[in-house]
Structure 1
Amino acid sequence: MAQLLVNTFVNYFRYMGTSSGGRGTGAPVTLADVARAAGVSVATASKALNGRAQVRESTRVKVREAAAALSFTPNFFAQALNSQRTGTIGMVTSDLDNRFVLPVLLGAEDAFGSGSLSVLLADARDDALREQLHLQNLLTRRVDGLLIVGRTTNPRPPAPVLADVPVVYVYAPSTDPTDASFTPNNVQAGRLAAEHLIAKGRRRIALVNGESSYAASRDRAAGVLAATQAAGLELVGGASLYGQWGEAWGRDCARLLVRGDETVDAIVAGSDHIARGVLDALRDEGRSVPGDVAVIGFDNWDVLVRESRPTLTSVDMNLEQLGRAAAQHLVDAIGGSTSAGVTYGAVRVHERESTG
């Protein structure tokens, strides 16, 4: 097993570079300053200075000229020694307490452990500057590669990594198509949930969803809508009911649905938490599950699905496997095998009593 070192990095190294001019005595010149002077994004400036092939030559020249004018010098030695592997991987998460992040980390740590790699883990606490400082600190320790774990599946800007080390994003994909990213296939998850209900003979399906600001909510809704339309069906209410992720939202929506004018015989809940609220309300309203209304959730969170009354059918996002796949890709990239783009992890339905 890999050695998992949880390091809070309280004593931060300087973020990016030192300077002898242009900003006052002792004021550090950052990569953001170089990017601003060159009129490009921080990610583009990082790739230009790092010699990445996907940057136009004219942009590369402009960034290098800006760096020279600002006397920008990276404040770490990984570039000089990056040909010497240390057997160490850096993992940076946005939220270590997030229950969706933990299985990703466990899967990744398992994969790294099979290759006898040590892991340095840092928690950015959903703070961009803290993340940059952690990345800088990990690079000073000459990690062979970086795994960056998001707190949601919302796409995120690429991290400004000024070193020639492989980077893989997991859970939250990078917005840069030249980066390697791994994320659950939430569109497929929504499609499978609806298809499961349709296969059970359900025709009056409603979708009680989470917050619309989450890509997971929108993607799952897209999958549900695609499956129902393919079967010639319309969602009860005509669209997804966006709201909160908690049980209270599930209870409120279920009451409205069963008391409304339209018949409902199945409910897709945007998460297992929402589904638990749906089940409570249906029981209070005297509706049997799955006899009158079938219910399916997402995430397959064991403590919820097995303790529900009845036990809850749910779509498993296979997050541990997602973490393993991302980690293996990073190991391959360190070995010289590179590929870019978003890889969508497989999902599957775990059938239990709530859908019969």
Structure 2
Amino acid sequence: MSMARAVTLRDVAEAAGVSVATASKALNGRDDVGAETRRRVEEAAARLSFTPNALARNLASGQTGTVGLLASDLDGRFSIPILMGAEDAFGAERMSVLLCDAREDVIRERHHLSTLLARRVDGLIVVGSRTDPRPSIGRDLPVPVVYAYAPSADPQDVSIVPDNVGAGIMVVEHLLSLGRRRIAHIRGDVTYAAAHDRIAGITSTLGAAGLDLLPPHSFGSWSEAWGRAAADAILAESPDVDAIICASDQIARGALDTLRDRGVGVPDQVAVVSFDNWEILALGSRPQLTSVDMDFEALGRLAAQRVFESIAGTTTPGVESRPCRLVIRGSSVKGA
């Protein structure tokens, strides 16, 4: 049995009684086609179930309808939701996505970049694994590039990052609204920009209220073990603590273990808040964690929007901070 022949643009043109060139102009929204002619062509295309050749249409406009997503670490839990958000936005515009993972390797990244450019992608999103500035992949590329999560070190590039300073402000304002005044902070890895940005927001907001962080002030790791040890140190040095800000949900899980083992009620005696809103941890905690959500999917969608704007030549270079949101649960507000 032979396959049915695909409907062509010539078939649509013949059905509408116009030339192939006129049918093409009508279906591509050109202004030099009369309204009645456009109506006849569109009705013929609908009647014949005509699907335009996307490749041919895009090549005619100088575009391929594809974009590249270049990730640094797909094993990390931040990259995937950012990429999902970007893919949703591109899919809504019928753009195809080519995904490459550099695995934190500069040579691999350069190879993937060459491959994506050889495929004539219309734009690129480069997704980092942490919010520290990263080297630019270059100013003289033939397509626009947007950096997501990890900003480019070049101020002439377009970068989208979560507002970690604002996140620190947000958690302190929440605790102050609950009447907490003796606040400690379990810090994350000293080598991460996110750890320092969150501290900046925390200390500036406490300072404006005439307060200081309780000691100790040590940095550690992004782990439950560090959370347990740091919470022990806080209870030993600042036994009157009434709130602990944890630099991540993993740290917070460890802190909750220590507070429970010591018989300290959460949130009655000590409120606990954290960052990242990693739901597998936040919802599995006892009680569930109040945590700042970086809204990674929305960040990815915004990065895709900036790619579209860059293609149109309307995006402003620089680093754009995207606000986060606080998800309030039982570790800070009883019954929440």
TM-score (norm 1): 0.75
Matches within 5 A, 1:77-226: 84-160=62-138, 162-226=140-204
- Maintained 8 Å contact 2:246/2:275: yes
Question: What is the aligned partner in structure 2 of residue 229 from structure 1?
Answer: 207
Shift of 1:197: 0.7
Task: List per-residue Cα deviations over 1:292-337 (Å, max 9, x = no partner).
Answer: 1100010111111111101110011111100000111101211232
One of 285, 310, 316 as aligned partner of 1:333:
310
Kindly provide the amino acid, as one letter, of the partner of residue 80 in structure 2: L
Return the letter of the residue paired with 1:97: D
Alignment of 1:276-355 (within 5 A): 276-355=253-332
Write the distance in 1 (CA, Å) between the matches of 2:61 and 2:137. Answer: 22
1:11 match: none
- Runs (4+) of structure 1 exceeding 4 A deviation are none
Q: Specify the code of the residue in structure 2 equivalent to 1:201.
A: G
Superposition deviation, residue 162 in structure 1: 4.4
Counterpart Cα distance in 1 of 2:96 and 2:128: 21
- The one-letter code sitting in structure 1 at the alignment partner of 2:312 is G
- Measured after TM superposition, the shift of residue 275 of structure 1 is 0.4
1:129 positional shift: 1.3
* Matches of 1:241 and 1:105, distance apart in 2: 34
Counterpart of 2:130, as a letter, is T
Q: Distance in 1 between matches of 2:148 and 2:248?
A: 20
Change (3 A) 1:121 1:82: farther
Residue 109 of structure 1 aligns to a residue in which SS?
Answer: helix
Count of residue correspondences? 275
Flag the 1:338–1:83 CA change in 2: closer, same or farther, 3 A. Answer: farther
Instruction: Report whether the alignment pairs 1:254 with 2:241.
Output: no
Q: Does the aligned pair in 1 maintain the 2:215–2:237 contact within 8 Å?
A: no
Letter of the aligned partner of 1:280 in structure 2?
D
> What secondary structure does 1:355 align onto?
coil
Q: Give the alignment's TM-score, normalised by structure 2.
A: 0.80
Q: Secondary structure at the match of 2:179?
A: coil
Identity of aligned residues (%): 53
Give the Cα–Cα distance (whole angstroms) in 1 for the partners of residues 285 and 165 of structure 2.
25
Change (3 A) 1:99 1:353: same
* Cα displacement string for residues 257-300 of structure 1 (whole angstroms, at most 9, x for unaligned residues): 11225521100000000000000100001100011110001011
Structure 1 contact 247–275 (Cα < 8 Å) conserved: yes
Moved more, 196-205 or 252-261: 252-261
Return the alpha-carbon distance in structure 2 between the equivalents of residues 261 and 148 of structure 1: 43
Listed one character per residue, the Cα deviations across residues 168-222 of structure 1 (whole Å, up to 9, x for unaligned) are: 0000001111110000000000110111111111111001011010010000011
**What amino acid is the match of 1:184?**
P
Asked if 1 retains the 8 angstrom alpha-carbon contact of 2:215 and 2:238, the reply is: no
Corresponding residue SS for 1:354: coil
Q: Any conservation in 1 of the 2:252–2:273 contact (CA below 8 Å)? A: yes
Change beyond 3 A, Cα 1:153–1:300: same
Q: Secondary structure at the match of 2:272?
A: strand
Once the 2 structures are TM-superposed, how far is the Cα of residue 161 of structure 1 from its aligned partner?
6.0
Q: Distance in 2 between matches of 1:163 and 1:288?
A: 56
Deviations 1:105-125 (A, max 9, x none): 000000101100000000000
Give 1:31-46 correspondences, 5 Å limit.
none
SS of equivalent to 2:331? helix
* Residue 82 (structure 1) shift: 11
**C-alpha contact 1:94 1:123 (8 A) present in aligned 2:** yes
Please list every run of 5 or more consecutive structure 2 residues that lacks an aligned counterpart in the other structure: 1-58
After TM superposition, the structure 1 = structure 2 runs for residues 270-281 of structure 1, keeping only pairs within 5 Å, are 270-281=247-258
Whole-Å Cα distance in 2 between the matches of residues 117 and 334 of structure 1? Answer: 13
The C-alpha deviation readout for 1:20-46, integer Å capped at 9, x for no partner, is xxxxxxxxxxxxxxxxxxxxxxxxxxx
Structure 1 equivalent of residue 244 of structure 2: 267
Matched residues in 2 for 1:82 and 1:260: separation? Answer: 70
Write the distance in 2 (CA, Å) between the matches of 1:275 and 1:222. Answer: 19
What CA distance in whole angstroms lies between the structure 1 residues aligned with 2:282 and 2:149?
22
Larger Rg: 2
How much is the aligned-residue C-alpha RMSD, in angstroms? 1.4
Is this contact kept in 2: 1:132–1:160, CA < 8 A? no
Secondary structure in 1 matching 2:321 = strand
